[in-house]
Amino acid sequence: MMTSFFDQFASPSFLGIPLIAVAIALPWTLFPTPTSRWLNNRLITLQTWSINRFTNQLLLPLNVGGHKWALLFTSLMVFLITVNMLGLLPYTFTPTTQLSLNMGFAVPLWLATVIIGMRNQPTAALGHLLPEGTPVPLIPVLIIIETISLFIRPLALGVRLTANLTAGHLLIQLIATAVFVLLPMMTTVAVLTAAVLFLLTLLEVAVAMIQAYVFVLLLSLYLQENV
């Protein structure tokens, strides 16, 4: 029996070797590879249609210069969705519940958008730190506030993804534990609790997909400000 509800978020290891690298690399082997045939099977057709729809929706507000990020954003979206969904299976590990991993994605990509803005249009990039029409006495305060909010963006990206997935996994484990405890004593209550657990699992499937989409969408919005 697990000694703590938070033990499920500990990085697994085998013979002292961390297995988080395997958990990160394994999802890529599950994707079907398109063939050279004229007609693909239903799974590949659905995968291609979903990726095309997502890419069109994501790059719609961006200009031509931002379209270079299409492959990166799409790959990140597919990776996050797959890892989040596999983490809902029993006896699996979810790498995206680790704040260090999420910050490793958020900080470099956010920093890249800032550097692009500073290089291509430094006046417009710095202009975001001071809204137009600001009274003179408030200029120093607003610049400090906007600078802080700018540097909080990658932290918010990483913490949002980590907190949502961690909270969902904890809630599922708490309700599942309650079902096993109540089953010998109050069968009816246990069945009702199991129904709630099933609905919560469906909700967590939606959360796993939505949080991956929100992560990439916010990065595209940050890019939109700087291209």
Cα separation of 221 and 114, whole Å? 12
How far apart, in Å, do the first and last CA atoms of the chain sit? 52
**What percentage of the chain exceeds 90 in pLDDT?**
21
pLDDT digit string, tens, across residues 45-82: 888 888 888 888 888 888 877 788 888 898 898 889 98
What pLDDT does residue 55 have? Answer: 85
Q: Which of 21-25, 28-32, 95-99, 158-162 has the highest mean pLDDT?
A: 158-162
What pLDDT does residue 154 have? Answer: 92
What pLDDT does residue 7 have? Answer: 65
Say which range, 37-46, 78-87, 108-117, 214-223, has the weakest mean pLDDT: 37-46
**What percentage of the chain exceeds 70 in pLDDT?**
91
Cα separation of 211 and 204, whole Å? 10
Number of H helices, E strands in the chain: 7, 2
SS3 for 135? coil
pLDDT digit string, tens, across residues 205-216: 999 999 999 999
17-26 contacts, C-beta under 8 A, 24 or more apart? 19/93, 20/93, 20/95, 20/98, 20/101, 23/83, 23/92, 23/93, 23/94, 23/95, 24/83, 24/95, 24/101, 26/86
What pLDDT does residue 143 have? Answer: 85
More confident residue, 71 or 2: 71
SS3 for 7? helix
What average pLDDT does the segment 97-110 reach?
Answer: 90
What pLDDT does residue 23 have? Answer: 74
pLDDT band, residue 3 (cuts 50/70/90): low
pLDDT of 183 above 80: yes
What pLDDT does residue 24 have? Answer: 77
Say which range, 11-20, 57-66, 72-81, 107-116, has the weakest mean pLDDT: 11-20
102, 118, 129, 216, 223 from 79: Cα distances, Å: 12, 29, 33, 11, 20
What pLDDT does residue 1 have? Answer: 44
